[in-house]
Structure 1
Amino acid sequence: MKAVVYDSPRSFTVTEIPTPDPGPGEVRVRVRQTGICATDLHIHNGKFFAEFPLTPGHELVGPVDALGDGTEGFRVGEYVAVNPNMNCGHCAYCRVGNPLMCANLKGMGTNWPGAFAEYVVVPASLVYSVDGIDPDTSVFAEPTACAMHGVRTLSPPPGSSALVFGAGPTGLLLAQLIAHGGAASVTVAASSAFKLRRAADLGIDATYLMDRADLAGDVAKLKAAGGGFDLVVDATGSAAVSEQCVPLTRNGGTVMFYGVTEPEDLVRVSPYDVYRREITVKGSFAAIDTFPLAIAALRTGRARTDGLITHRFKLDDIAAALEALRGDRTVHKIILECWQE
């Protein structure tokens, strides 16, 4: 089969490798398409737990191609999505019911083979049916599952106000789910006008066009408009933006860091301000048990993806896809097509 194979950071080829056979309890999926996200750029650069050699890719959808011995619950040809995160089940965190903090966490496309390939083999326990959902929608199952975990972590109080920094696909999925999770109003702030137009099309209550060169001015204007927000989320992965969250949070409110920053990034915050105003600060890392909820939200339209896909590339054109993700301001969501019907 054809796959993208990295031998080290920033060094990869599109090459032929053996097609994997599913073992007992495993499913082989023929990858129709997979999404590319900013995390893939971190992995490209050797960050985010990447272990080489590696085939990246963690946002896939495609039909079941083969079933290993004893595998039940799926049929060949059934369209599925795959949870890319697998916990060990026996470390201290797993044994107290906190699998996402697993000391031995495995991530598809990070430290085990991913979906920038024509086929993947995965444990059946990580596979979820998305039959009947358009593949251009079900390919968002993984980012929607991450957003669903974010909403669960944030726990929006009924009637609360929320601000989400960032109008990328995960930011807009998160904003929609916060609105359906109890918030009375949701504002999305971003520096891209066309992404904010898409936010409005998806039903977001209000948008704000940011000036990244004047974040302090943005904060002052947003605060003056309504006195701040009960919930403030950074979904940009920019430490400079993360730093604006606490000042924009109302007394007793909650800040959540959701975007992927670099490990060395630091954010300045006044501990007195957090203490005096009883601000809660949370983090939301990834998804491990929210795939059924995410797929249900996609199936019912509670999480909409209309218009998010802007670019498509073939597997052979992975270099061009990564370059577009890195520098093309017209990109919203990139899809890598691993085969076509």
Structure 2
Amino acid sequence: MRAVVYDSPFTLEVREVPTPEPGPGEVRVAVLQTGFCGTDLHLHAGGFMGAYPLIPGHETVGVVDALGEGVTGFTVGEQVTINPNASCGLCPYCREGRPLLCDDLRAKGVNRPGMFAEYTVAPARQVFSVDGLDPDVAVFTEPTSCVSHGVERLSPTPNSTALVLGAGPTGILLAQLLATNGAAHVTIADRAAFKLDTAGRLGIDATYLMGRDDLATDVDRLRAGSGADGFDLVVDATGVPALVEQCVPLARKGGTVALYGVADHDARVTINPYDVFQREITIKGSFAEIHSFPSAIAALRARRVRTDGIITHRYGLEDYEKALRAIAHHPGVHKIVIDPRG
């Protein structure tokens, strides 16, 4: 089969590799398309726990191609998606019931062979049916599951206000789930007007175009538009340190800040500890997911999360390097999907 293979960071090619055979308890999936995520840029540069050689890709939709011994509950030709993440079940965090913090967390496309390939194999417990969903919707299952975990971490209350910094694909998904899970009003801010236009069409209450003046002016305007002295929930969905530093100032007294975007491993930010202390601000992290695929699929089926218009670019497997350049440099990119069939 054809697959994207990194022999080391920055060193990749699309080449023939053996087609994987499903072992006992495993499912082989013929990939229809795989979403390109910002995390894949970090992996390109050797970050985010990447283990090389590596086939990247962790957001996929495909069809069951073959079943390993003992697998039941799936049929050949059924449309499915794959949860890339699996915990060891043995470390102290797993035994405490916190598998996402596993000391030996494994993820397809990160430290296990991923889905920028024609075929992939996964344990049946990590495979989920998405029959009947448009593949352009089903390909968003993994990012929606991460968002679902983020909303669980935030626990919005019915009268809460929320601000999401960053209208990338996950920012828009997160803003929608905050609204459908209790937040009374959600604002999303970004520097790209076309991303905000998409967010508005998908029902986000308010959008704010950043970068018209300086960042301090944006913060003042956002606070003024919050209807109070800030927002109950402030989420950074960018990983950009300069924006992360504005999250605490944008939070209302007693508010919660969530760091959701992926920053560089060595990134650093400055906060005012007295401000956090005096205003009783809570700061949380939200990292990936491990048990949120059922809730993500339910949200997509019920259209509590909509994805219309988020995909802007499609590339064949052979054009992976073009996709890399586009997501890094093209100002019109929102979401890229890779189709191994070309």
**Structures share a fold, TM > 0.5?**
yes
- 3-state DSSP class of the match of 1:64? strand
Q: Are residue 216 (structure 1) and residue 216 (structure 2) matched?
A: yes
Q: What displacement does 1:212 show?
A: 7.8
Correspondence for 1:269: 271
Q: Are residue 153 (structure 1) and residue 153 (structure 2) matched?
A: yes
Deviations 1:30-67 (A, max 9, x none): 00100001100000000000011000000010000000
Q: What displacement does 1:200 show?
A: 0.4
- 3-state DSSP class of the match of 2:18? coil
Aligned length: 340
Which whole-Å CA distance do the structure 1 matches of 2:307 and 2:137 have between them? 6
Which whole-Å CA distance do the structure 1 matches of 2:165 and 2:153 have between them? 17
Corresponding letter in the other structure for 1:336: I
Correspondence for 1:124: 124
Correspondence for 1:31: 31
Correspondence for 2:42: 42
Structure 1 residues without counterparts, runs of 5 or longer: none
Which whole-Å CA distance do the structure 1 matches of 2:265 and 2:51 have between them? 16
- 3-state DSSP class of the match of 1:32? strand
Q: Are residue 317 (structure 1) and residue 335 (structure 2) matched?
A: no
Deviations 1:200-254 (A, max 9, x none): 0000000000018721110011112232101000001101100000001000010
From 319, 326, 329, the equivalent of 1:327 is 329
Query: Superposed, which structure 2 residues align to 1:171-250 within 5 Å?
Result: 171-211=171-211, 214-225=214-225, 226=227, 227-250=229-252
Correspondence for 1:305: 307
- 3-state DSSP class of the match of 1:322? helix
- 3-state DSSP class of the match of 1:159? coil
Q: What displacement does 1:315 show?
A: 0.2
- 3-state DSSP class of the match of 1:72? coil
Which whole-Å CA distance do the structure 2 matches of 1:217 and 1:101 have between them? 38
Corresponding letter in the other structure for 2:143: P
Which whole-Å CA distance do the structure 1 matches of 2:224 and 2:140 have between them? 36
Which whole-Å CA distance do the structure 2 matches of 1:10 and 1:212 have between them? 35
Which whole-Å CA distance do the structure 2 matches of 1:133 and 1:14 have between them? 29
Q: Are residue 92 (structure 1) and residue 92 (structure 2) matched?
A: yes
Corresponding letter in the other structure for 2:273: P
- 3-state DSSP class of the match of 2:13? strand
Deviations 1:273-326 (A, max 9, x none): 111111000000001100000000001100000000000000000000110000
Q: What displacement does 1:15 show?
A: 0.4
Q: What displacement does 1:332 show?
A: 0.5
Correspondence for 2:57: 57
Which whole-Å CA distance do the structure 2 matches of 1:322 and 1:212 have between them? 28
Point out 4+ residue stretches in structure 1 off by more than 3 angstroms: none
Which whole-Å CA distance do the structure 1 matches of 2:59 and 2:250 have between them? 33
Which whole-Å CA distance do the structure 2 matches of 1:27 and 1:212 have between them? 50
Which whole-Å CA distance do the structure 2 matches of 1:104 and 1:213 have between them? 45
Which whole-Å CA distance do the structure 2 matches of 1:270 and 1:16 have between them? 53
Q: What displacement does 1:159 show?
A: 1.0
Correspondence for 1:278: 280
Which whole-Å CA distance do the structure 2 matches of 1:72 and 1:30 have between them? 18
- Aligned alpha-carbon RMSD (Å): 0.9
Q: What displacement does 1:329 show?
A: 0.8
Corresponding letter in the other structure for 1:161: T
Corresponding letter in the other structure for 1:263: H
Correspondence for 1:291: 293
Structure 2 residues without counterparts, runs of 5 or longer: none
Which whole-Å CA distance do the structure 2 matches of 1:212 and 1:43 have between them? 32
Corresponding letter in the other structure for 2:281: I
- Percentage of pairs with the same residue: 62
Deviations 1:121-157 (A, max 9, x none): 0000100000000000000000000000000001001
